[in-house]
Structure 1
Amino acid sequence: MSSDLFSLINTYRDVTLIKLQDRTLLVIACDSAGGIGEKEMDAVKVSPYILGRFTSRVSLMEIISINARPISLSITICAEPHPTGDLILNGIMDELREIGLQGISFTISTEKNIKTVQTGLGVTCIGLCKDDNLLLGKVQKGDKIYIAGIPKVGKEVNLNDPAIFDLKALLKLKESKNVKEIIPVGSKGVLGELENFSICNSLKYKFFNPLPIDIKKSAGPSTCAIIFSKDTLKSELEVPLYLIGEIE
């Protein structure tokens, strides 16, 4: 493909956006996990199935949160195809089924030459979005700042924890006309994500005290999200929802 058919326009948060000819954006996000699994040297002992679900969830959230449509996954499994690879893929497929994306295309690579004693996984998600449909750059002075879910990391993360933000909650949030932007929170914590947002958008914010969550704590595999809303956010989310501040 000739280089004049596309141009890199921005890397925003953890998402890269590439502009194509027809005002369509190619959107790319990725996430990785290491030392999490059932192998001898894994620091956090958890089923590879759970690892697959949460690692794929993060990259999917990054794509969906800006209103792009996932079209493909690239799955890099730093472990043998059987049984670890199979269990990871089962988790990823179930995560896709949760939001009706089980037909999405994907590319898979596993380690077939070397015996591994520690689990590693990388998931890249590729999506498409028209530039005028992006859920970015719309936050203004006076908008409210909410947190959906509670920051959790490592051994605190469980699949059926009702306090953890998930893809179903994300899709439900996007139905609200008041929502201006959604930021899945990872290892930077809520404070780190807000500081980065503030710099990128030249906006200031203030917190309402007392804060109901630890804003400095890592949220691991996007166990919570920041939501900017035009007005009071009324939602039927099954995860906790907290008003923590506003844009000044």
Structure 2
Amino acid sequence: MAGFKYRDLTIVPLSREKMVIAADSIGGVGPKAGDIVKTSGEIVGRYGARVVLMELLAVKARPQVISCTVSCEWEPTGKEIYQGVLAEVKTLPFAIDITGSSEKNFTTNTTGAGFTAVGLGDELLVNRICETSDLYIVGVPLVGEEVLKFPELQATPHLVYELSQNNDVLEIIPCGSGGVGAELMWLKNQGFEIENVIAPPFSLEKSAGPGTSLLVAVKEGIELKAAIPVHYLGKAIKVKKT
């Protein structure tokens, strides 16, 4: 069956539900001599898994399996990355299978890994924004060393899962390297105008790294709360065609 793209996701209709696929990669971050940002393999695994899990959970797809392909040796770096993936998976209230591979032929001096998650869902949170919806930014855009320093300001897969279960939430959009601004531009390309904007205490263009912040659309008049910083941004209003 032919699939279709929705933002960074590939969605494939099946007989009773839809298969949703998310993929991401990371390089130059880790414990090796050539890495630009120094951190443990476990952190690499956690944040690599976090990105693809949040992409699935944001559209209300339940992750079934996550694959981690490590571009370096299994021991010790690959094993540490696997432990990070496992730790992130365990933050969710359901089981997810883990598979993957590592480099067995060559020695590398930088860390690299690819992450793919596959999920299933029926009534996905896709194209659900109403004629008029309220927009919130949940979490703070962080990148590089900031991600390691301020975990208390970041969105997590468990938070995205909780938001996806809220009937007042229409869509959840994890922000990436283009920041909140890139996701607002995507909304505009879908035919929405953003009005009554209240500027947040950070640049809308700042990279949100591994999805540290979310753009969340809710039913008009709903106040959104979370355990991390929440900023009311304004209204998304569907432009009527003339």
Q: TM-score range by the shorter chain?
A: over 0.9
CA distance in 1, matches of 2:76, 2:196: 47
Report the Cα offset of residue 117 of structure 1: 0.1
Question: What amino acid does structure 2 have at the position aligned with 1:38?
Answer: P
The residue number in structure 2 matching 1:241 is: 230
Q: Given the alignment of the two structures, is residue 210 of structure 1 paired with residue 199 of structure 2, yes or no?
A: yes
Which residue, 24, 48, 56 being the options, matches 2:49? Answer: 56
The residue number in structure 2 matching 1:223 is: 212
Number of equivalences: 237
CA distance in 2, matches of 1:62, 1:120: 20
- The answer to whether the 8 A contact 1:169-1:239 is kept is no
Question: 3-state SS of the aligned residue for 1:134?
Answer: coil
CA-to-aligned-CA distance 1:159-189 (integer Å, 9 cap, x gap): 7621111112112222322110000011111
Q: Given the alignment of the two structures, is residue 115 of structure 1 paired with residue 90 of structure 2, yes or no?
A: no
- The answer to whether the 8 A contact 1:172-1:237 is kept is no
Q: Which moved more, 1:29-38 or 1:162-171?
A: 162-171
CA distance in 2, matches of 1:33, 1:159: 19
Q: Given the alignment of the two structures, is residue 31 of structure 1 paired with residue 20 of structure 2, yes or no?
A: no
Report the Cα offset of residue 47 of structure 1: 0.7
- The answer to whether the 8 A contact 2:60-2:161 is kept is no
Question: What amino acid does structure 1 have at the position aligned with 2:202?
Answer: I
Give the unaligned 5+ runs of structure 2: 238-242
The residue number in structure 2 matching 1:65 is: 58
CA distance in 1, matches of 2:166, 2:17: 24
Question: 3-state SS of the aligned residue for 1:126?
Answer: strand
CA-to-aligned-CA distance 1:4-48 (integer Å, 9 cap, x gap): xx122x20111000112x242111001110000010110000111
Question: 3-state SS of the aligned residue for 1:162?
Answer: helix
- The answer to whether the 8 A contact 1:173-1:235 is kept is no
Question: What amino acid does structure 1 have at the position aligned with 2:114?
Answer: G
The residue number in structure 2 matching 1:156 is: 146
CA distance in 1, matches of 2:31, 2:221: 44
The residue number in structure 2 matching 1:13 is: 7
- The answer to whether the 8 A contact 1:145-1:226 is kept is yes
CA distance in 2, matches of 1:241, 1:215: 14
- The answer to whether the 8 A contact 1:50-1:159 is kept is no
The residue number in structure 1 matching 2:89 is: 96
Question: What amino acid does structure 1 have at the position aligned with 2:10?
Answer: T
> Judging changes above 3 Å, is the alpha-carbon distance between structure 1 residues 191 and 247 closer, same or farther for their aligned structure 2 residues?
same
- The answer to whether the 8 A contact 1:28-1:125 is kept is yes
CA distance in 2, matches of 1:242, 1:160: 17
Report the Cα offset of residue 235 of structure 1: 4.5
The residue number in structure 1 matching 2:67 is: 74
CA distance in 2, matches of 1:87, 1:81: 8
Q: Given the alignment of the two structures, is residue 105 of structure 1 paired with residue 97 of structure 2, yes or no?
A: yes
TM-score normalized by structure 2?
0.93
- The answer to whether the 8 A contact 1:59-1:124 is kept is yes
Alignment of 1:115-134 (within 5 A): 115-130=107-122, 133-134=123-124
Q: Given the alignment of the two structures, is residue 184 of structure 1 paired with residue 174 of structure 2, yes or no?
A: yes
The residue number in structure 1 matching 2:240 is: none
Percent of matched pairs sharing the same residue: 35
CA distance in 2, matches of 1:229, 1:85: 40
Report the Cα offset of residue 107 of structure 1: 2.1
CA distance in 2, matches of 1:52, 1:204: 37
CA-to-aligned-CA distance 1:186-209 (integer Å, 9 cap, x gap): 11110111212321x222223523
Alignment of 1:135-150 (within 5 A): 135-150=125-140
